[in-house]
Amino acid sequence: MNAKAVFLDRDKTILLPHGGEKYIYRVEDFFIPESYIEALRNLIESGFLLFVVTNQGRIAKGHLTEEDVEELHHCLDLILKYNGVFITKYEFCPHNPRGSLAPYNVICGCRKPKTGMIDVICDSRDIHKAGSWMVGDSEIDMLAGRNSGLRTIQVMTGSEYDSRYADFIEIDLVSAVSRILKEDEKSG
């Protein structure tokens, strides 16, 4: 049986930066609203698997390491699990062709808007793409989702303009989850 999934961008989708921070590097750089945790729990209770797919091209620029990203994901995972939310898998792309740090400064197939991270997950699991979603704050998230055959929702927590590639545009993750559950009910 095919599983339904929600692929989530990380920064400015699940994690919101403290203050005026532009990038999230460390645990102290972000917060997760309680309402977001509850919304993610609602997705799980409705039978969705959750996956995080995030570009971390600042690795290629030497601003952080893969270990830094894994440490942040470990901390995020502890917070979420403590609150009854289970992310099935975290995938991140460390590449950026504009970076200066080899071997990360290359063009790859995993950096969104390419579909490599989503493909890896879908290939290793029985994911029903037509019943699954990509939620993110940027046009590249919407392109990655659309090119993977997923329905897409752009949240406006990290963007100032609407993506023409979004199937739906919602104000934040709570509204996005509400939309997913409403659409899932219609098709179920």
Residues with a known catalytic role = 9, 11
Does residue 74 contact residue 34 with C-beta atoms inside 8 Å?
Answer: no
Instruction: Order the strands of the 87-93 sheet from edge to edge.
Output: 87-93, 48-55, 4-8, 133-136, 151-155, 168-170
SS3 91: strand
Rg of the chain on CA atoms, in Å: 16
H/E stretch holding 6 reads strand 4-8
CA–CA separation, 45 vs 81, rounded Å?
14
